[in-house]
Amino acid sequence: MSSRTWGYARCSSSSQVEDRQKIALIESGVDERFLMVDFQSGKDFNREQYQVLKKALREDDILVIKSIDRLGRNYNMILEEWRDITKNIKADIRVLDMPILDTSKNKDLLGSVINDIILALLSYVAEQERTYIRSRQREGIDLYLKTGKTKTGNRMGRPTLPLPTNWSEVYEKWNNKKITAKKAMELLGGIKPNKFYAWVKEERN
């Protein structure tokens, strides 16, 4: 069976980001029939299309991604996934934004070592950047909930009622599909769906 070239794109939501990734992957030689797209966070690898892709990957296949953060956001998980694909499945990975990260071209020991070092560095940087962004977002949300104003001093819409003290914990469980929305609303004091989803929207914004 001849090898195939697969493309993988990931977006948090449907947007122009998806189009840019798909265009780049197709221009690199990926057949659109073998292009998989997920609209989910990169916090882990429990994504429907990615799991389908992993099961379809065979030895000598090539997985093409636009950038390392499209594969994932967590440093340790990216390394584990990379090694599973290249060492266990024995497929190759090509990162378009970082041509040196192309295991199909660097098959010797030195090339493998260089790939591992660069991958570790890039994964770490991607994770630190995400941590910084989330920290800044949390600061902004806390300030807004406390004062009704953004960091620039602007007031955003009508004031929001204080969130329950267990909001962050419940939201994370619901967002990670560990509990249902109904259970989340019960844990938050039996709030109504409109209030729950309003808080969810605010959290994500």
Which two three-digit tokens encode residue 15? 């947007």
Strands 5-11 and 62-65: parallel
In 3D, which of 98, 115, 117, 116 has the Cα closest to residue 106?
115
Q: Where are the domains of the chain?
A: 5-106, 162-205
Q: 16-20, 21-25, 28-32, 76-80: lowest mean pLDDT where? A: 16-20
Strand partners, 35: 7
Architecture label for domain 5-106: 3-Layer(aba) Sandwich (3.40)
pLDDT at position 1? 65
Calculate the CA dihedral of residues 23, 27, 31, 36 and round it to 10 degrees.
-40
Strand order in the sheet with 62-65: 35-39, 5-11, 62-65, 92-95
Q: What's the whole-model pTM score?
A: 0.58
pLDDT 10s digits, 90-115: 999 999 998 888 888 866 666 677 66
pLDDT 10s digits, 46-71: 899 999 999 999 999 999 999 888 88
pLDDT at position 205? 65
pLDDT 10s digits, 180-190: 888 999 998 88
Residue 191 pLDDT grade (very low, low, confident, very high; cuts 50, 70, 90): confident
In sequence order, what E strands does the chain have? 5-11, 35-39, 62-65, 92-95
108 contacts: CB under 8 Å, gap ≥ 6: none
Judge contact between 79 and 119, C-beta under 8 A: yes
